[in-house]
């Protein structure tokens, strides 16, 4: 277990919990509202590696029984001091399918009928096995999320098109998370795909497009968000675990020692005459090169420049990673700061800023749950 701190604030009522179950750890953030502001009560992270006989930081693919055990262990952990069962859960991006499709301009009722039919071209399983959601991507900042009329009106011309973001979740995934909630005695009223949690916690009122790079243990997710709307999403099958593996292989050390070295030293320094930066760059250059291709393709398609790149996820906590990213992109690079949206003790400001990118999803889930109970 890591990064626990006991609650240092008096507890207002209506505490809520945001839960992010990743491949290498579970993260939880407990918030309440006081004076109209979200207040951080406690937060923590529990490594999942030991539940699979692996080391801290290693990725896992645990059976649901082990996930439930880990969630229950964390809730009982005295150092974290979680006091509520009211929560929301984030579902990993890898468990979902997102695609932007072009549709003729038609009424909302017609789209309700046509989107599932069109989605069959992209969803690799029968539509009956998934839960679909969708929304229309506005064409400009003055557009509504759903600009089509509710009732049938004049027919659209053949050239009129709308972009529709379609989101599909397999029903087995939803049932799996329902099982986690029930057997952990939690009170969850929603599940949401992690990107929407991240957007809520780290974005403000940005109008120009932003590229979010979310580096997890085994994958890195790329999201382009414009005017608060998700416009594009991609996944790279490399993450911070690849860095650990490369350090272990190149330096001839155990995975556990490599993970410790990565967390403590970051990119700087050298071991036995070998620069850590040269090893780490193998993975980072691949990820940032892929991200640059996505960025440039978007800019070319829509003729709009990405205003900044935002780093979140556990992998983005690597010391020195921001400098490598700045050399890879021709735009501003910043670290996500989800705890910047909550009130917390001033003396924790630095640790929360450093730790923040890892907790972007959990904070975002908690913020949504807090809105719903208030």
* Model pLDDT, residue 286: 95
Structural domain total, the chain = 3
Residue 208 shares a structural domain with residue 329:
yes
Confirm whether 188 is domain-assigned: no
User: Does 51 reside within a domain?
Assistant: yes
C-alpha radius of gyration, the chain, whole number: 21
Distance in angstroms (rounded) separating the CA atoms of residues 133 and 306: 27
The pLDDT value recorded for residue 12 is 53
Same domain, 103 and 130: yes
d(CA 32, CA 374): 10
167-201: b or e for each residue (b if 16 or more CB lie within 10 Å)? bbbbeebeeebeebbeebebebeebbbbbbbbbbb
- Let me know if residue 258 belongs to a domain: yes
Q: Does residue 158 surpass a pLDDT of 70?
A: no
> Is there a contact between 306 and 282 (Cβ–Cβ < 8 Å)?
no
Using the predicted structure, report yes or no on whether residue 149 has a pLDDT greater than 80. no
Q: Is pLDDT at 109 greater than 90 in this prediction?
A: no
Residues 279 and 290 in one domain: yes
**Structural domain harbouring 128:** 95-169
Per-residue model confidence (pLDDT) at position 159: 60
Of 3-7, 216-220, 328-332, 370-374, which range is least confident? 3-7
**pTM for this one?**
0.86
Percentages helix, strand, coil for the chain, rounded to the nearest 5? 40, 30, 30
Is 366 part of any domain?
yes
First to last CA, the chain: 32
- If you average pLDDT over residues 285-312, what whole number do you get? 93
| pLDDT reported for residue 260 | 87
What stretches of 11-95 adopt beta strand conformation (E)?
Answer: 16-21, 25-34, 37-47, 86-91
Amino acid 135: pLDDT: 84
Beginning with the edge strand found earlier in the chain, give each strand of the sheet holding 16-21 in spatial order: 37-47, 25-34, 16-21, 86-91, 187-193
What's residue 13's pLDDT? 53
In terms of pLDDT, which residue wins out, 239 or 374?
Answer: 239
Residue 81's domain is classified under what CATH number?
3.30.420
150: pLDDT strictly greater than 60:
no
Mean pLDDT of 36-53: 94
pLDDT at 297: 93
Same domain for 234 and 326, yes or no, is: yes
161: pLDDT confidence band, cut at 50, 70 and 90? confident
What confidence score (pLDDT) does residue 207 get? 85
């Amino acid at each position: 277990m890591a990064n626990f701190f006991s609650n240092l604030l008096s507890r207002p009522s209506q505490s809520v919990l945001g839960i992010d179950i990743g491949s290498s750890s579970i993260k939880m953030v407990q918030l309440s509202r006081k004076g109209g502001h979200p207040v951080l009560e406690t937060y923590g992270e529990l490594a999942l590696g030991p539940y699979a006989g692996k080391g801290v930081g290693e990725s896992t693919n645990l059976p649901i029984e082990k996930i439930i055990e880990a969630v229950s262990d964390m809730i009982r952990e005295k150092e974290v001091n979680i006091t509520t069962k009211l929560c929301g859960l984030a579902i990993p991006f890898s468990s979902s399918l997102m695609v932007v499709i072009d549709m003729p301009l038609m009424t909302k009722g017609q789209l309700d009928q046509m989107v599932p039919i069109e989605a069959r071209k992209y969803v690799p399983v029968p539509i009956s096995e998934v839960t679909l959601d969708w929304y229309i991507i506005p064409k400009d900042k003055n557009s509504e999320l759903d600009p089509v009329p509710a009732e049938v009106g004049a027919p659209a011309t053949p050239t009129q098109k709308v972009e529709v973001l379609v989101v599909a979740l397999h029903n087995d995934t939803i049932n799996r998370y329902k099982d986690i909630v029930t057997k952990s005695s939690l009170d969850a009223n929603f599940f949401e795909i992690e990107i929407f949690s991240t957007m809520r916690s780290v974005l403000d009122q940005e109008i120009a497009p932003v590229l979010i790079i979310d580096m997890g243990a085994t994958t890195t997710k790329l999201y382009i968000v414009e005017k608060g709307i998700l416009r594009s999403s991609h996944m790279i099958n490399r993450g911070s675990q690849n860095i650990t593996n490369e350090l272990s292989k190149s330096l001839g050390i155990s995975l556990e020692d490599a993970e410790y070295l990565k967390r403590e030293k970051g990119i700087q320094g050298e071991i036995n005459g070998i620069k850590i930066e040269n090893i780490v760059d193998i993975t980072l250059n691949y990820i940032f090169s892929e991200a640059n291709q996505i960025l440039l393709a978007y800019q070319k398609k829509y003729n709009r420049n990405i205003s900044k790149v935002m780093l979140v996820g556990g992998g983005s906590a690597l010391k020195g990673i921001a400098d490598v990213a700045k050399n890879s992109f021709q735009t501003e690079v910043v670290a996500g700061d989800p705890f910047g949206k909550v009130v917390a003790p001033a003396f924790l400001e630095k640790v929360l800023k450093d730790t923040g990118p890892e907790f972007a999803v959990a904070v975002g889930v908690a913020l949504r749950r807090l809105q719903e109970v208030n």
